[in-house]
Structure 1
Amino acid sequence: MSIRIITDSTSDIPQNQAKERNLTIVPLCVRFGDEEFKDGVTLSSEDFYKRLEASKILPVTSQPSPDEFLNHFEEAKAANDEVIVITLSSTLSGTYQSAMLAKSMCEYDKIHVIDSETVTLSLKILIDYAVKLRNEGLSFEELISELETSKKRIKLFAVVGTLEYLKKGGRLSSTAAIAGTLLGIKPIVKVEDGSVLMAAKARGTNSAFNKISSLIEENGGIDMSMPYTLGYSGSPESLDAFKPFIEKAFNLSNSPISIIGSTVGVHAGPGACGIAYFAPNK
């Protein structure tokens, strides 16, 4: 008997890496008009941004069906394995509900579904932590308890490179977008209570980086004993200035780097950069 860890594609963990780490990724769907893709399977994050920049309409994402989880649950049931499912925030998607419905359909007690209350880079580091704990030999119950507690400490702050996609998505008026662009306004977003929210605004990139540094300090700094990651949307060049800045500010080195996938990328657009980490225990 072993512990299976299942997550969804908004964790932005490539399928090949998932296989190497004995993880299962259930993909969300991404639709550009009449074309539908499996996130991370038939559409990579890199190709997503190419399509996003070329598209006149914003793509939409949709949750996996309960059957997509059920297939994995039935396999685990047949092997008598325990299953921990960690999904993106139930506030942002019905993926958690799909997993819960599949659990009830499977009628198998050894499945626990965790609402991560977060997404993208933050979900990735929670999965990283889950894999680490499993590899250290924690029991099913110990894993669940630690993940449910620790998820509350995860923080994500990112600066958005362009206002265009916030405008396209209806989160910013055209007037505000034009004015913001002229003034060099850089929105800083965070994930809190399961939602992607505006954390602050800054004029210019350097001010935005300084604001992120201040927000991290205000939240108690970074727990260096826990996983963290830097992230970008679109091109890795989005991190060229942010990576040395944040590493110097918090004495980091050789930081892990992840691409921000379609769920957040559709609103942020290319050019965003940020960090996800665990705040220290209070």
Structure 2
Amino acid sequence: MIQIVTDSTAYFERAEMEKYGLKIVPLSVNFENTVSDEGFPGEFDEFFNRLAVSKDFPTTSQPSAGAFAEVYKKAIEEGKEVITITLTAKLSGTYNSAITAAALVDQSKVTVVDSETTAANLKELVMMALELSNNGLSRNEIVNILESQKKRMGVNLTVGTLEYLKKGGRLSNTGALIGNLLNIKPIIALKDGKLVPVGKVRGRKNAIEKISEGIPQEVKTISICHIFALEEATEIKEYFIDKYPSATINLEVLGPVIGAHLGPKALGVLYSY
């Protein structure tokens, strides 16, 4: 048997975690002098409501190696092997914590995969691992498939306001001021595990159209991820249903660890092919 482990940025709901027998090791958020686990979808509203009015800017922390080791030890005691799939190592130390933890228990029983992505794409890789495990594939076979599939994924993000990119040090005060005045919407992609700016346009509609240009026609899954933008995300979903009729289109939420740097009304289009 194989225990699948991931981190909280996969944004599984609590009920999903229990249904699939997942182990989720949370990242934490330090905000307004309080440190707390990121939590699960359905539990994010309070954080983002506070973020919208607070002068404080959150910081985030990866789980400790000990938190992963505790999960590994229990799984191994139950006679299981372990596959851990984490968010991209270039945005967080979570992958390194998971690797360190394997050395603390039994490295021969644990494999850690750097997904080079996060959010809905990370969730999709975890679901793939669960299905492959249920179909009887070995740990090495599953990991090889995951390593191949993660190269066939994309992430593009845009924001409702430039304020949070400014607070996070990714944009100057002047750039944020001018950009907000001109309704400039940056397009940020996750490439090779790193966030990089890939363009900017005027207006949200143009941003979504620009993002859609980069989605391959053979796309299989598209996830529209949002922060407090359900109505707009639903409209975008309808747009993609018409444009990519053979793809599965999902709506997902982003939590505090990812969302703190983007702010309320942020939108992400994540896809796999």
Structure 2 distance, partners of 1:43, 1:63, is 21
Shift of 1:93: 0.9
Q: CA RMSD in A?
A: 1.9
Structure 2 distance, partners of 1:222, 1:55, is 43
Q: 1:121: which partner in 2?
A: 120
Map 1:70-219 onto structure 2 (within 5 A). Answer: 70-216=69-215
Q: CA 1:43–1:28 in structure 2 vs 1: closer, same or farther (change >3 Å)? A: farther
Q: State TM-score, norm by structure 2.
A: 0.93
Structure 2 distance, partners of 1:108, 1:4, is 14
Q: 1:223: which partner in 2?
A: 219
Gaps of 5+ in 1: none
Structure 2 distance, partners of 1:253, 1:84, is 28
Cα contact 1:190–1:198 (8 A) shared by 2: yes
Structure 2 distance, partners of 1:72, 1:214, is 41
Cα contact 2:83–2:110 (8 A) shared by 1: yes
Structure 1 distance, partners of 2:106, 2:135, is 29
Cα contact 1:234–1:269 (8 A) shared by 2: no
Structure 2 letter corresponding to 1:103: A
Structure 2 distance, partners of 1:163, 1:204, is 12
Q: CA 1:192–1:77 in structure 2 vs 1: closer, same or farther (change >3 Å)? A: same
Structure 2 letter corresponding to 1:133: L
Q: 1:55: which partner in 2?
A: 54
Structure 2 distance, partners of 1:42, 1:229, is 15
Cα contact 1:156–1:277 (8 A) shared by 2: yes
Cα contact 2:228–2:264 (8 A) shared by 1: yes
Cα contact 2:154–2:272 (8 A) shared by 1: yes
Structure 2 letter corresponding to 1:176: G
Shift of 1:247: 2.0
Structure 2 letter corresponding to 1:65: S
Shift of 1:165: 0.5
Structure 1 distance, partners of 2:234, 2:72, is 42
Q: State TM-score, norm by structure 1.
A: 0.91
Residue range with higher mean Cα deviation, 64-73 or 122-131? 122-131
Cα contact 2:11–2:41 (8 A) shared by 1: no
Q: Secondary structure at the match of 1:129?
A: helix
Shift of 1:268: 1.0
Gaps of 5+ in 2: none
Q: Secondary structure at the match of 1:267?
A: coil
Cα contact 1:121–1:275 (8 A) shared by 2: no
Q: Secondary structure at the match of 1:268?
A: coil
For residues 104-124 of structure 1, the C-alpha deviation after alignment (integer angstroms, 9 at most, x for no partner) is 010241110001111222212
Structure 1 moving runs of 4+ over 6 Å: none
Q: Does 1:251 align with 2:245?
A: yes
Q: Secondary structure at the match of 1:109?
A: helix
- Give % identity: 38
Structure 2 distance, partners of 1:160, 1:42, is 20
Q: Does 1:8 align with 2:4?
A: no
Q: 1:270: which partner in 2?
A: 264
Q: Secondary structure at the match of 2:239?
A: helix
Structure 2 distance, partners of 1:43, 1:66, is 27
Q: CA 1:139–1:255 in structure 2 vs 1: closer, same or farther (change >3 Å)? A: same
Q: CA 1:157–1:211 in structure 2 vs 1: closer, same or farther (change >3 Å)? A: same
Structure 1 distance, partners of 2:39, 2:62, is 14
Structure 1 distance, partners of 2:42, 2:103, is 30
Q: CA 1:53–1:94 in structure 2 vs 1: closer, same or farther (change >3 Å)? A: same
Structure 1 distance, partners of 2:242, 2:57, is 36
Q: Does 1:232 align with 2:231?
A: no
Structure 1 letter corresponding to 2:219: D
Q: CA 1:127–1:228 in structure 2 vs 1: closer, same or farther (change >3 Å)? A: farther
